[in-house]
Amino acid sequence: MNHIIYMSRAVRPLSDQDLHELLEQCRRDNALHNVTGILFYSHGNIAQLIEGEPDIIGPLYEKIARDGRHSNVHKLADKPITERSFPGWSMAFHPLEPQGFHELTDFLLPEAVPESPSTLTIADALILDLVRQAVFNTERSASSAAPTLSSGGA
Amino acid sequence: MQHQQLQHILKHVPAGIATLLGPELRFSFANEAMQTLLGGKPLQDQKLADQVDILTPELVEVMQQVYQAGTQFVAKAYGLKHALSEAAEDEVPRYFDIALEPLKDEHDAVQGLLVFVLDVTQQALAQQRAHELARETRRLDARLRVLTETAPQIIFTVDAEGRFEYVSPQWYYFTGQPTTADLNLIWPLLIHPDDRLRVMYQSESARKAGVGWSYEYRLRRHDGQYRWMLSRALPELHVPDKPVFWHGAVTEVNDQRELSEALRRGEAELRFLADSIPQLIWTATSQGFIDYYNQHTLAYSGLSGEQLGPTGWISLLHPSEQNLGARRWVHSVATGEDYEGLFRMRRNDGEYRWHIIRARQLADSRGPRWFGSCTDVDDQHRLREVLQAQYDELARTNRDLDTFVYTASHDLKQPLHNLRGLFDELRRAATFQDEEASVMLEMLDDSLSQLDVTLQELAATVQEQRQLNVPAETIDLQSVTEEVLLGMRPQVQETNATIELNFAAAPKLLYGRANLRSVLHNLINNALKFASPLREPRICVSSALSETGKPLLRVEDNGLGMKPGDAGDGMFQVFDRQHPHIAGAGVGLYLLQRIVNSRGGHIEVDSTPGTGTRFTVYWFE
Ligand SMILES: Cc1cc2nc3c(=O)[nH]c(=O)nc-3n(C[C@H](O)[C@H](O)[C@H](O)COP(=O)(O)O)c2cc1C
């Protein structure tokens, strides 16, 4: 059993619709391949932890890293673990229109994300705490975020 | 049979063919195509003039003229507005080549016309498009030229052999070469000798491979300076042909290059420095992920950078401190506040050593980053622990001593009291014959009194000692001194002393009240006690600010004074007696010294035997 943690930037902000589609697709595919974990999204910042068998999540990570919806994919951890820390698959973000999301089982509001599980090593729990902070602490990340695309001009 | 075949062919030829006979130009033959062209109705014997709405009046007139003149005429790409060839509602004009051939009899007299109509709409449209394209191309070309000539870059086109096809005027401005210069000859010569071969090789291999390029090199500017340039070019592709031309631009990147060079150099120097320091040094991204550990960190931990990973340092901490360490780090990263803590860190041999971990956020051109260090303070820490243990031991001994002195003085009081009682009894009951007896009795009496005073002062010393830790308050010197003097009224009156108070320069003092009272009491008491029998005592008590602006207290007298050699520390030893004939003096000064020292101050003495003494209490220095 391995886990991988990475951070990335969305190429353009993901809409509720985009997130919903991603959620549906990941729920289906991850359940199929016994992949668990959590994804954080806010204002174009993305971080994700996936856990599963190395020959599943290795190629999955490669596929995700090549996904055109995001770039600057930066791996922070990729190592064997003794047990899973996440019972299922979930995504945490702030939808613009929260109504449709509350019923979804795999959806979490960022405030509702539990503490980093104690099954993680202290170093990995720290990574997860830091990425969560980097994704959701938008005021600070906004100032240090990648430059926004300028419109018009040559 | 042959005639029939001919008819058949004519009928199906994809061009309109018709013969018109007589001065009225009536249709005698029209093939299918012609019939369709003119609306699909049968044309046999129809007059040409009746077809004017399709064949335009102009064309009809030309046909009549051809008939009269008897010379052939060809109208090229003639537009017929309402071409009815395919769809009636098709409003698009169609174009035809129309050949008009006079039909003559054997006497060369014109009998009619042979009309041959060929639909050339496609060609005509193509031609029109070609024409428009040519115009557009000219326009684009002009625009491109303006662009290439106004852009700050040098724009160029080379062919597959590397010969310059075009270069924008900026090249001449930049290099300062005359417009007559042979580009192919000069350009390579202007490249920095160290870069020349590489550039030639890179450009040639790109051209051979049919791909673009992007490389940097130094080019000589008009002033002789070499400037870093970025050359980028892409082949003009017309698949499947091999590219023939490469178009590109050369941009000056000297400043960026120098900046990043300086950065790289700076970074390299810093790393070198960091790697040679026997300290744990690291840097982290603004998000809190370590991106560099110095050599010593790796040696100390016995782990590789990879094993440590972006947060691995936390697992080096003592397990009981990891949670705290992690929480603080998350907090620092969130707020940008400095990180500081004292932690035990595991060395490669498993020993935990105390470290001070410090990190500060610093913004450079790449945005904010964290710079951290872990300083091994294990030896200091252990030393401090030893010192602390010794200090505790000493304090305890001191306390025990105080208790002993207190108990001893207390316990001795009773026997002394008894002794005094017995002595008084003895004096009353017994009669002494001896002459010397009365002197000895007096001496005994004196000694007993002195012993009593000493015991009292000893007890007081210990008591004061216990009050050393009372909190400080702001005290009005005038009123507290008056209170103290009130308690000493008998001595003051007895000695007929004049006591002058002057606290104007520093009226208030932040101090322990009991301590202040003790100091005042002892100093004034001392002055009274060592008054000169030759003059009435004058004592002056005043406050002031020292040279460094801190408060001080002065007590001056005109008493006996002290021997100069004794004005040092010796005076303050317990039981040290300056004037052995005066009862109980040693303990008081010792006590004073301890009080003032314990609150961070000191006492100085100025004294001239026979003239007087001045005590200066520096409260806080
Ligand atoms: C931020 C992000 C996270 C993703 N996470 C997952 C995931 O956990 N599981 C998964 O199957 N696909 C994930 N995807 C989608 C994959 O990149 C890919 O689009 C998807 O697996 C469909 O691939 P396929 O077309 O090859 O089936 C993620 C995509 C993005 C942009």
Peptide bond just before B93 cis, omega within 30 deg: no
Task: Convert the pLDDT of each residue in B501-556 to its tens digit.
Answer: 999 999 999 988 878 888 898 889 888 888 888 888 999 999 999 999 999 999 99
* Beta strand pairing call for A89-92 and A36-42: parallel
B365 touches chain A (CB under 8 A): no
B287 touches chain A (CB under 8 A): yes
Question: A116, A122, A143: best mutation site toward chain B, by most B Cβ within 10 Å?
Answer: A122
**pTM reported for the whole predicted model:** 0.48
Rounded to whole angstroms, the Cα distance separating B321 from B319 reads: 5
> Which of B172, B305, B177, B156 shows the shortest CA–CA distance to B234?
B156
Rounded to whole angstroms, the Cα distance separating B391 from B84 reads: 120
B312 touches chain A (CB under 8 A): yes
Rounded to whole angstroms, the Cα distance separating B199 from B374 reads: 47
Q: Which domains does chain A have, with CATH numbers?
A: 2-115 (3.30.70.100)
Give the residue, by CA position, lying nearest to ligand 1 atom 4: A64
Tell me B191's DSSP state: B
Which residues on chain B are in Cβ contact (under 8 Å) with A77?
309-310
Nearest C-alpha in A relative to B321: A122
The answer on pLDDT for B377 being more than 80 is: yes
Q: Which residue has the higher pLDDT, A107 or B499?
A: B499
What percentage of chain B exceeds 70 in pLDDT? 90
User: Which value does ipTM take for this structure?
Assistant: 0.84
Helices B513-529 and B435-467: angle between axes, nearest 10 degrees = 160
Rounded to whole angstroms, the Cα distance separating B5 from B24 reads: 29
The answer on pLDDT for B370 being more than 70 is: yes
Rounded to whole angstroms, the Cα distance separating B46 from B52 reads: 12
Give the residue, by CA position, lying nearest to ligand 1 atom 7: A26
Rounded to whole angstroms, the Cα distance separating A93 from A102 reads: 12
- pLDDT value of position A150: 33
- pLDDT value of position B563: 67
The answer on pLDDT for B260 being more than 70 is: yes
Q: Ligand 1 pocket, A27 CB below 6 A?
A: no
Rounded to whole angstroms, the Cα distance separating A5 from A121 reads: 13
The CATH class, in words, for B2-119 is: alpha beta
Categorize the per-residue pLDDT at B586 as very low, low, confident or very high, splitting at 50, 70 and 90: low
Categorize the per-residue pLDDT at B87 as very low, low, confident or very high, splitting at 50, 70 and 90: low
User: Which stretch of B195-199, B226-230, B577-581 has the lowest confidence by average pLDDT?
Assistant: B577-581
Fold held by B151-252:
Beta-Lactamase (3.30.450)
The answer on pLDDT for A87 being more than 80 is: yes
- pLDDT value of position B450: 78
Nearest C-alpha in B relative to A76: B310
Instruction: Flag if B287 and A131 touch (Cβ within 8 Å).
Output: yes
If one residue of A63, A66, A71 were mutated to test the ligand 1 pocket, choosing by the most ligand atoms within 8 A of its CB, it would be A63
A residues 81-110 lying closer than 8 A (beta carbon) to B: none
Q: Going along B430-564, which residue ranges are E strands?
A: 473-476, 498-502, 508-511, 538-545, 551-557
Residue at B60: amino acid letter = V
Q: Could you state, in order of their start, the residue ranges of all structural domains in chain B?
A: 2-119, 151-252, 260-376, 382-446, 471-618
Helices B435-467 and B378-429: angle between axes, nearest 10 degrees = 150
HSE value, Cβ hemisphere, 13 Å, CA-based, for B415: 7
A125 touches chain B (CB under 8 A): yes
- pLDDT value of position B469: 59
Task: Convert the pLDDT of each residue in B237-258 to its tens digit.
Answer: 887 788 889 999 898 888 888 8
- pLDDT value of position B581: 52
Average pLDDT over residues B134-146: 85
The answer on pLDDT for B179 being more than 50 is: yes
Task: Convert the pLDDT of each residue in A8-41 to its tens digit.
Answer: 999 889 998 999 899 999 989 999 999 999 999 9
Average pLDDT for chain A: 85
Average pLDDT over residues B337-354: 93
Give the residue, by CA position, lying nearest to ligand 1 atom 18: A64
Nearest C-alpha in A relative to B363: A144
Residue length of chain A: 154
Task: Assess contact for B189 and B198: CB atoms under 8 A.
Answer: no
First vs last Cα of chain B: how many Å apart? 144
Q: Which residues pair with B96 in a beta bridge?
A: B78, B119
- B350 backbone dihedrals φ, ψ, rounded to 5°: 90, -10
Q: Which CATH superfamily hosts domain B471-618?
A: Histidine kinase-like ATPase, C-terminal domain (3.30.565.10)
Give the residue, by CA position, lying nearest to ligand 1 atom 25: A63
Q: Which residues pair with A6 in a beta bridge?
A: A48, A75
Residue for token pair 């002056």:
B540
Alpha helices in A34-70 (DSSP H): 54-66
Q: Ligand 1 pocket, A116 CB below 6 A?
A: no
Question: A3, A130, A143: best mutation site toward chain B, by most B Cβ within 10 Å?
Answer: A130
Within 10 angstroms of residue B308's Cβ, the number of other Cβ atoms is 20
The answer on pLDDT for B373 being more than 80 is: yes
Tell me which residue in A77, A131, A144 faces B309 most closely, judged by beta carbons.
Answer: A77
- pLDDT value of position B583: 47
Give the residue, by CA position, lying nearest to ligand 1 atom 12: A26
Average pLDDT for chain B: 84
Equal fold, B2-119 vs B471-618: no
B314 touches chain A (CB under 8 A): yes
CATH 3.30.70.3000 fits B260-376, yes or no: no
The answer on pLDDT for B218 being more than 90 is: yes
Rounded to whole angstroms, the Cα distance separating B111 from B102 reads: 7
Nearest C-alpha in B relative to A5: B310
Q: Going along A43-92, which residue ranges are E strands?
A: 45-52, 70-80, 89-92
Q: Ligand 1 pocket, A69 CB below 6 A?
A: yes
Task: Assess contact for A90 and A39: CB atoms under 8 A.
Answer: yes
Which residues on chain A are in Cβ contact (under 8 Å) with B330?
126, 129-130, 133
Alpha helices in B111-156 (DSSP H): 121-150
Task: Assess contact for B195 and B150: CB atoms under 8 A.
Answer: no
- pLDDT value of position B564: 53
> Which of B62, B118, B45 shows the shortest CA–CA distance to B85?
B118
